[in-house]
Chains A and B, each alone.
Chain A
């Protein structure tokens, strides 16, 4: 079955700094990959997804992710962190259902 591994349960950056959240996947078929964000006391919402085509995918709030087949990775980046980006981020892979990683909590320091 497909699975994802998120490296680092907690990432802390300063406001304005680069955000890098790591995700590696395992899939026996061409993967469909997703990043979701969960703000405090809310459900999850889609940030971006990769299905086919362009390997650099842009999402909401300045986030983007690059699909690298050779590295089995789908890391999430944002060039400039804002306080409002503080949340938990989940990587996920789809076979016939969505399977989530353990999550990475992002803290943004002023």
Chain B
């Protein structure tokens, strides 16, 4: 089984709909992250959490919210999806510290029509 599991892997939705992307990890790490990948822009940080009681905004948090349900679970919500939120979304987890390697899920491809 994968260390980081994202669901759904692919989703097509319509403008204005609420969408939740879920992430679970079996690494036992406290830190979890949501990134968004767009062609030519690399990965940009949406939200991150250093433990179950800690939630922080990243570079591009507008239009998104998150919930840290447990050490192993971190979900991303789009309250009212818009077409420019069409992207590939990655969840990741890491150990503490600046040198901690990120372990990524396989991504959730979201298309907003």
Asked if A43 meets B43 with Cβ closer than 8 Å, knowing A96-B98, A97-B48, A97-B58, the reply is: no
Chain B: number of interface residues, binned into ranges? 20 to 34
**Contact between chains at A43 and B106 (CB < 8 Å):** yes
Chain A residues positioned under 8 Å from B43 (CB to CB): 44, 90, 100
CA distance A97 to B43 in the complex (A): 12
**Contact between chains at A43 and B107 (CB < 8 Å):** yes
CA distance A15 to B25 in the complex (A): 37
Cβ contact of A43, chosen from B4, B42, B99, cutoff 8 A? B4
Return the CB mask of A77-110 against B: 1 if under 8 Å, else 0.
Answer: 0000000000000100011111111110000000
Chain B residues positioned under 8 Å from A96 (CB to CB): 98
**Contact between chains at A103 and B42 (CB < 8 Å):** yes
Output the least CB separation between A83 and chain B (Å).
22
**Contact between chains at B102 and A98 (CB < 8 Å):** yes
Asked if A95 meets B42 with Cβ closer than 8 Å, knowing A42-B106, A43-B107, A45-B104, the reply is: no
CA distance A45 to B90 in the complex (A): 12
Output the least CB separation between B78 and chain A (Å).
20
Asked if A46 meets B99 with Cβ closer than 8 Å, knowing A90-B43, A101-B42, A103-B42, the reply is: no
Cβ contact of A9, chosen from B40, B45, B94, cutoff 8 A? B40
Find the A residue at minimum CB distance from B105. Answer: A43
Say whether B12 faces chain A, with CB atoms less than 8 Å apart: no
**Contact between chains at A95 and B98 (CB < 8 Å):** yes
Say whether B74 faces chain A, with CB atoms less than 8 Å apart: no
**Contact between chains at B33 and A97 (CB < 8 Å):** yes
Among A36, A41, A98, A100, chain B packs the most CB atoms within 10 A around the CB of A98
Asked if A46 meets B101 with Cβ closer than 8 Å, knowing A97-B45, A99-B45, A103-B42, the reply is: yes
Find the B residue at minimum CB distance from A6. Answer: B42
Q: Which residues does B use to contact A, with CB under 8 Å?
A: 4, 33, 35, 40-45, 48, 58, 90, 92, 94, 98-99, 101-102, 104-107
A-B contact pairs, 11 of them (CB 8 A): A32-B99, A43-B92, A43-B107, A44-B92, A44-B104, A49-B101, A90-B42, A97-B48, A98-B33, A98-B102, A102-B42
